């Protein structure tokens, strides 16, 4: 099935009760099932990934979603270990984890040529995957894979989880590179499933929510750094894709409330407290900080908005435009082509004021884990 042939009714369903309302009950008091989510994160340089995973766990604690797996899109670093620390904090230490093999972004930053030496001293705060390696140093025993390369192949995790789920039931939420979606599409039938990757996705996945791309065109981190995978996945993905793009999240600031939480021991608080500039710093040069993705409310909530979209849907937070995001040229540029009738993609735009969306995100991120470590 080509993307352009996705029937309109599939898009209508994205806005219907059960997709857009709380999982516990919809607007009419009808009980709805928790949204089944596979979370895919780069957990590499930025830290809105931590906020996004915190939101997801809070929504799972509330019965609004079920987390099926938490997968890294980067390799040779502490990304899987950092994910496991957060999973442990929320009382879900055994969630399946995985990482890509053989392709995609490697090491401590996007241009890295070598993997992180997990046995090397932590070193200076600047660069070097510091914030995530620090989580592993501060929370020993809360993770299994200090090196993401030791984690299972993301393809096997995706295929096993998808094969075990009801048809048309899984939402994939990606807040990092697109590597794993491309690799999944290219998988062959195996002992896990007689279906190839594209057929398995078409059968089991309801929709893919991606934090990626820049409106109306340009370069965006998640879609740019493994742009070949982005191009292949966007062109061949057999379900609707919803985008929370750079344009939506960049001026939606969340996380200062997390940084200022009065809790003793929280990896979520630690990351936000260590990486958000002070109110005084912002006050002195707000334009400079805005260019870097910081505001009085905290950090640009690119990844957290994707989780909100994945679990609670478009309404009441967002408006939606239909069209196509596609990769153009060979340097990682993307562009949006509006197509209100037949576009296979949706990008969200502002409906509720972004400060209100940020408050929803902050409320989720600051919830105490229901069954976790504290
Ligand atoms: Ca991310």
Q: What is the pLDDT of residues 132-142, one digit of tens each?
A: 999 999 999 99
Whether 303 is in a domain gets the answer yes
From ligand 1's centre to the CA of 330, what distance in Å? 22
Nearest to 314 by CA among 339, 353, 346, 341: 346
From ligand 1's centre to the CA of 30, what distance in Å? 34
From ligand 1's centre to the CA of 116, what distance in Å? 18
For tokens 């009760």, what's the residue? 17
From ligand 1's centre to the CA of 42, what distance in Å? 5
Helices (H), 47-177: 48-61, 79-89, 130-138, 154-163
Residue 374 predicted with pLDDT over 70: no
Whether 132 is in a domain gets the answer yes
Confidence class of residue 21 from pLDDT cuts 50, 70 and 90? very low
If one compares 131 and 373, the residue with the highest pLDDT of the two is: 131
From ligand 1's centre to the CA of 55, what distance in Å? 14
* pLDDT score recorded for residue 15: 54
Domain that holds residue 319: 3-365
Q: Which residues contact 326 (CB under 8 A, 6 or more apart)?
A: 231, 234, 235, 334, 335, 337
Which CA distances in Å does 106 have to 75, 113, 230? 5, 7, 16
By the CB criterion, residues less than 5 angstroms from ion ligand 1 are 42, 49, 175-176, 303
- CATH number for 322: 3.90.245.10
From ligand 1's centre to the CA of 341, what distance in Å? 31
What would the pLDDT profile of 82-139 be if each residue is shown by its tens digit?
Answer: 999 999 999 999 999 999 999 999 999 888 999 999 998 887 776 678 999 999 999 9
Whether 258 is in a domain gets the answer yes
Long-range contacts of 366-370 (CB under 8 A, 24+ apart): 366/257, 366/258, 366/261, 367/58, 367/61, 368/263, 369/57, 369/61, 369/89, 369/90, 369/91, 370/61, 370/90, 370/91
Whether 241 is in a domain gets the answer yes
What pTM does this model have? 0.94
Residue 18 predicted with pLDDT over 60: no
From ligand 1's centre to the CA of 51, what distance in Å? 10
From ligand 1's centre to the CA of 176, what distance in Å? 4
Whether 371 is in a domain gets the answer no
What would the pLDDT profile of 287-317 be if each residue is shown by its tens digit?
Answer: 999 999 999 999 999 999 999 999 999 999 9
Confidence class of residue 23 from pLDDT cuts 50, 70 and 90? very low
For tokens 């997968």, what's the residue? 71
From ligand 1's centre to the CA of 215, what distance in Å? 18
Whether 374 is in a domain gets the answer no
Beta-carbon neighbour count of residue 315 at 10 Å?
18
Whether 40 is in a domain gets the answer yes
Lowest-confidence segment of 11-20, 143-152, 320-329, 345-354 by average pLDDT: 11-20
Tell me the pLDDT of the chain averaged across its residues: 92
* pLDDT score recorded for residue 124: 74
> Nearest 5 degrees, angle CA 261-CA 266-CA 271?
85
What would the pLDDT profile of 40-55 be if each residue is shown by its tens digit?
Answer: 999 999 999 999 999 9
Greatest distance between any 2 Cα atoms in the chain: 60
Whether 194 is in a domain gets the answer yes
From ligand 1's centre to the CA of 222, what distance in Å? 7
Q: Domain count for the chain, please give it.
A: 1
**Residue 248 DSSP SS3:** helix
* pLDDT score recorded for residue 31: 63
* pLDDT score recorded for residue 276: 96
């Amino acid at each position: 099935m080509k993307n352009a042939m996705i029937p309109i009714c599939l898009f209508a369903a994205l806005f219907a009760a059960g997709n857009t309302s709380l999982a516990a009950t919809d607007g009419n008091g009808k009980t709805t099932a928790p949204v089944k989510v596979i979370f895919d994160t780069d957990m590499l340089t930025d830290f809105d990934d931590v906020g996004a995973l915190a939101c997801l766990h809070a929504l799972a604690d509330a019965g609004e979603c079920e987390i099926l797996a938490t997968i890294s899109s980067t390799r040779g670093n502490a990304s899987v270990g950092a994910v496991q620390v957060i999973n442990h904090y929320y009382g879900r230490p055994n969630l399946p984890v995985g990482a890509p093999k053989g392709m995609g972004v490697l090491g401590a930053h996007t241009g890295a040529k070598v993997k992180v030496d997990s046995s090397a001293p932590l070193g200076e705060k600047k660069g070097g995957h510091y914030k995530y390696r620090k989580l592993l140093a501060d929370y020993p025993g809360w993770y299994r894979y200090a090196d993401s390369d030791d984690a299972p192949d993301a393809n096997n995790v995706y295929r096993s989880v998808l094969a075990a789920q009801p048809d048309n039931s899984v939402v994939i939420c990606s807040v990092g590179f697109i590597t794993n979606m491309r690799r999944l599409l290219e998988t062959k039938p195996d002992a896990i499933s007689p279906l190839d990757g594209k057929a398995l996705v078409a059968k089991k996945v309801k929709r893919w929510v991606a934090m990626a791309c820049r409106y109306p065109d340009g370069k965006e981190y998640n879609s740019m750094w493994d742009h070949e995978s982005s191009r292949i996945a966007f062109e061949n993905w057999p379900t609707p894709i919803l985008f929370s793009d750079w344009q939506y999240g960049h001026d939606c600031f969340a996380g200062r409330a997390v940084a200022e939480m009065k809790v003793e021991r929280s990896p979520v608080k630690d990351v936000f407290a260590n990486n958000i500039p002070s109110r005084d710093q912002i006050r002195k040069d707000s334009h400079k900080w805005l260019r870097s993705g910081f505001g009085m409310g905290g950090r640009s909530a690119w990844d957290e908005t994707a989780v909100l979209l994945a679990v609670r849907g478009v309404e009441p937070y967002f408006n939606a435009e239909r069209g196509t995001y596609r990769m153009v040229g060979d340097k990682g540029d993307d562009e949006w082509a509006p197509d209100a009738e037949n576009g296979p993609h949706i990008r969200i735009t502002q409906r509720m004021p972004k400060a209100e969306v940020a408050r929803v995100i902050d409320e989720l991120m600051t919830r105490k884990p229901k069954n976790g470590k504290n």
